[in-house]
Structure 1
Amino acid sequence: MSDNRDVQAEQENTVDETVQAADAQASAEEVEGAQAPLDENAQRIYELETALSEAQATVKEQQDSVLRARAEAENARRRAEGEVEKARKFALERFAGELLPVIDNLERAIELTDGENEAIKPLLEGVEMTHKTFLSTIEKFGLSLIDPQGETFNPDLHQAMSMQESADHEPNTVMAVMQKGYQINGRLLRPAMVMVSRAPSGGVDTQA
């Protein structure tokens, strides 16, 4: 009788162990089954994050390229505008320079004409009007007169052709203008040719 109980108990223990082993295996399989989707999701997230980083880097590079292209285009535009402006100013300076002898000749004609002669008064008035209109027209394009009579000698704008002692003028004063000078848009086109005073006991400093 006792032997039967022992056999029965042993069989029950074996069954329990089998059940426990089966439960353990099932639990392990459940854990593995749960970890597998987690690992796949993590891998997918990593791949997506990597792709996003690469896309952001590409966008950043393209943005930099666009900015560089815009900057280069703007610099090219400014250089082109500068070259056009230089060409325009150079052409205008050359044209204005060619007009100066015409102005000089009109002024000489006015100076040398006898204004008291009734026969040539109409002609003189016509020349004076032409000279005035001519100057007014070229002034619209930036040409300005340099007529420094009585002013202090300025080597940047005047060219001293002669020096003369004078007690009536301060040293380095323009006593006479032999030929008027001109500027165009603030740049010297032709210096005024002048006679400069000096003190009776000294010379003129044409660099003052």
Structure 2
Amino acid sequence: MAKDPQTPLDDELARQEQEGEPEQAVDAAEAVEGELEDIVDQAEGEAQAEAVEGGDNPEAEVLAARVEELEQSVTEAKDQALRAAAEAQNVRRRAEAEAEKARKFALEKFIKDLLPVVDSLEKALEAMGEDASEVHREGVSMTLKMQLDVLAKFGVEIVEPQGEPFDPQYHEAMAMVPNPEVDPNTVIDVMQKGYVLNGRLVRPAMVVVSQAAG
């Protein structure tokens, strides 16, 4: 028996599946289902006519083969549509995650360049002796506070682990000093503060760590 020729509907369904367009593939599948229903109705009518006439009907066999073929096409189109929709959702989620990551850490380089300014203000404030005027001290202190407030506004946190256990993820040990008064591996001095941007380390805290007395 000769195979029923390809119809424009078959061509459209194949094109939609190749392009991986989920919504259009679903539309094509629905169109095939519509054609399938029409052919099933026609086949039922032919079968009834055959039963009345009591003879063979070659056209009914062709229709039955076409029904089976269309059912397979519908199944494949639905499967393709589901896979394409799942892939599109995964791509969208990855894009959203990358965009969120870029938004959170876009200022990382700028903050690294700004930290030496904060360090200088802190050192200037510490170096002011008794002779420094109150106005001068207050001006430097207010400038430092403004800098720190801006950093905090954009998700920057200070790492100042005085008295805390040493954490190599956030601290950089500059020296190990025996100290029987505290537990080993305790931060006993912070030489330079560290900073974290939205949970990511921008600069480790430079610290002095205790060790057991020899």
Normalised to the residue count of structure 1, the TM-score between the two structures is 0.68
- The Cα shift of 1:200 comes to 2.6
Equivalent residue for 2:121, pick from 106, 124, 127: 106
Relative to structure 1, is the Cα distance of residues 35 and 182 closer, same or farther in structure 2, using a 3 angstrom cutoff? closer
Q: Is it true that 1:49 corresponds to 2:64 in the alignment?
A: yes
Name the CA distance, whole Å, in 2 between partners of 1:88 and 1:178: 31
The within-5 A match list for 1:87-98 is 87-98=102-113
The within-5 A match list for 1:63-82 is 63-82=78-97
- Equivalent residues, number: 165
Equivalent residue for 1:182, pick from 182, 190, 195: 195
Structure 1: gaps (5+ residues): 1-33, 202-208
Report the counterpart of residue 28 of structure 1 in structure 2.
none
Superposed CA offset, 1:44-78 (max 9, x none): 44333322222222222222222222223222222
- The Cα shift of 1:90 comes to 4.2
Superposed CA offset, 1:70-89 (max 9, x none): 22322222232333334334
Report the counterpart of residue 75 of structure 2 in structure 1.
60
Relative to structure 1, is the Cα distance of residues 168 and 37 closer, same or farther in structure 2, using a 3 angstrom cutoff? same
Equivalent residue for 1:153, pick from 166, 171, 182: 166
Amino acid at match of 1:92: L
Report the counterpart of residue 39 of structure 1 in structure 2.
55
Could you tell me the percent identity over the aligned residues?
49
Name the CA distance, whole Å, in 1 between partners of 2:51 and 2:155: 86
Superposed CA offset, 1:104-153 (max 9, x none): 11111111123x44x63112212212222322222232211111111222
What secondary structure is seen at the aligned counterpart in 1 of 2:182? coil
Name the CA distance, whole Å, in 1 between partners of 2:136 and 2:193: 24
Contact kept in structure 1, 2:105 and 2:197, CA below 8 Å: no
Equivalent residue for 2:211, pick from 180, 198, 202: 198
CA RMSD of aligned residues (A): 2.5
Structure 2: gaps (5+ residues): 1-49
Relative to structure 1, is the Cα distance of residues 43 and 100 closer, same or farther in structure 2, using a 3 angstrom cutoff? same
The within-5 A match list for 1:132-143 is 132-143=145-156
